[in-house]
């Protein structure tokens, strides 16, 4: 668990909280790398992250790319923030756009290998990079991604644990994705089991301390982040 707490700030307070240049660079590098990590798992073709099972299923029925599906569903999820009263930020809107663009850009640059020995490192690298990118973007404290905000918002409103809410959301999107023909594999299971611990382990390296400067109570609800996309 990070020793520096996550500050619970509104969008304007996030921008005024200090150390903004460093935080902006960290935010956008993290979001871009997150999109790259999704593309690596697609290229590995051994299973996608839970939300991408849904995204890949949608692309089989609607003429859009995976990255475009990420963007569309990001804004759909943001609509669910309204009754949950989650606080968006620059990072929230940026997340909805940058991750999908980065994923499509990476996929356009590389072809998927045929050999399993080449695909396994892509899957593992994608998961580790996703954990690293999650720690970067959340650590910048400029707003959570649409899906993480849905998770924490539901946890607050229902009183259920983050772990239980996260599991429920991911099982739901995987089932819908499978019904639409999405891609499920060992990579999906590996991602679900390891992404939280990896991100939590790396979070102290990048979490910018804003609570003392902002004069607000910390938000400890996001102990084990699931997905920034």
Q: Which residues of the chain have pLDDT under 50?
A: 1-3, 214, 216-226, 228
Cβ–Cβ < 8 Å for 38, 216: no
Which of 6, 1, 2 is closest to 138 using CA atoms?
6
Q: What is the pLDDT of residue 24?
A: 94
3-state SS, residue 60: coil
- Phi, psi of 151, rounded to the nearest 5 degrees: -65, -50
| pLDDT for position 200 | 80
Query: Any idea where the domains of the chain sit in the sequence?
Result: 18-209
Burial of 170 (0-12, 13-18, 19+ CB in 10 A): buried
**pLDDT value of position 160:** 82
Q: What is the pLDDT of residue 1?
A: 41
pLDDT at residue 5, rounded to an integer? 60
* HEC letters along 153-198: HHHHHHCCCHHHHHHHHHHHHHHHHHHCCCCCCHHHHHHHHHHHHH
| Predicted pLDDT of residue 6 | 67
Q: How far apart are CA 229 and CA 223, in angstroms?
A: 17
pLDDT tens, 46-75? 999 999 999 999 999 999 999 999 999 999
If you ran DSSP here, which 8-state letter would residue 9 be given? -
């Amino acid at each position: 668990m990070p020793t520096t707490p996550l500050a619970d700030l509104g969008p304007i307070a996030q921008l005024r909280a200090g150390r903004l240049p460093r935080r902006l660079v960290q935010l956008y590098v993290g979001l871009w790398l997150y999109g790259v990590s999704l593309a690596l798992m697609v290229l590995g073709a051994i299973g996608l992250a839970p939300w991408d099972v849904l995204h890949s299923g949608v692309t089989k029925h609607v003429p859009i790319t995976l990255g475009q599906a990420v963007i569309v569903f990001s804004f759909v999820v943001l609509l669910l923030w309204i009754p949950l009263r989650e606080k968006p930020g620059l990072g929230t809107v940026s997340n909805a756009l940058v991750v999908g663009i980065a994923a499509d850009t990476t996929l356009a640059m590389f072809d998927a290998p045929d050999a399993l020995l080449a695909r396994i490192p892509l899957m593992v690298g994608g998961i580790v990079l996703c954990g690293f990118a999650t720690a970067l973007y959340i650590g910048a404290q400029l707003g959570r991604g649409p899906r993480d905000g849905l998770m924490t918002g539901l946890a607050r409103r229902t009183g259920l644990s983050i772990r239980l809410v996260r599991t429920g959301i991911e099982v739901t999107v995987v089932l819908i994705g499978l019904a639409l023909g999405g891609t499920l594999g060992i990579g999906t299971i590996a991602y679900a089991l390891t992404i939280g611990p990896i991100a939590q382990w790396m979070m102290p390296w990048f979490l910018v301390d804003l609570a003392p400067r902002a004069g607000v109570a910390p938000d400890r609800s996001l102990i084990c982040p699931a997905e920034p996309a």
